[in-house]
Amino acid sequence: MPLINVVLEEGVFSTEQKHAMAAKLTDVMVEFEGFEAFREVVWVLIEERGRDGWQIGGQPLAGPPCLMATAGRSKETYEAVEGNPTTREELAAEPPVPTREGVLSKLLSGPSIAC
């Protein structure tokens, strides 16, 4: 019995949309399994969480501005990597860790985005 667990922000999708989502996810599972009888044992659990239940990058999620700020930090971290590490060990040898001073400087000079 496969269980598909979908977690969504509360109130984003209507009841009808959630039903349609569950039906399509079930269709995908039946397609992969290869026979229609499988449909009867596919479970789809759709959970909704309030905005306070979501965290990204260790900070509460505050919608698209927060996602964009996190993406920007990820890009900065990616660009700080020297060379082209191909293993975890190579990356760990010189991890791109921001300094406390650099983080404070950005917080004080950059736009205020609550994440």
Output the pLDDT for position 69.
Answer: 73
Residue 91 domain flag: yes
CA pair distance 14, 63, nearest whole angstrom: 19
Tell me which residue of 101, 103, 82, 104 sits closest to 93, measured CA to CA. 82
Over residues 24-30, mean pLDDT: 96
CA pair distance 26, 44, nearest whole angstrom: 7
Pair 61, 17 in one domain:
no
Over residues 85-104, mean pLDDT: 63
Give the range of the structural domain holding residue 26, as residue numbers without chain letter: 3-49
Residue 115 domain flag: no
CA pair distance 92, 61, nearest whole angstrom: 28
Which tokens hold the place of 40? 């009867």
CA distance to 2, 27, 35, 86, per residue, from 41 (Å): 7, 12, 12, 41
Output 29 or 69, whichever has higher pLDDT.
29
Pair 62, 101 in one domain:
yes
Pair 69, 29 in one domain:
no
Q: Encode pLDDT of 52-70 as tens digits.
A: 777 877 777 766 666 667 7
Pair 42, 63 in one domain:
no
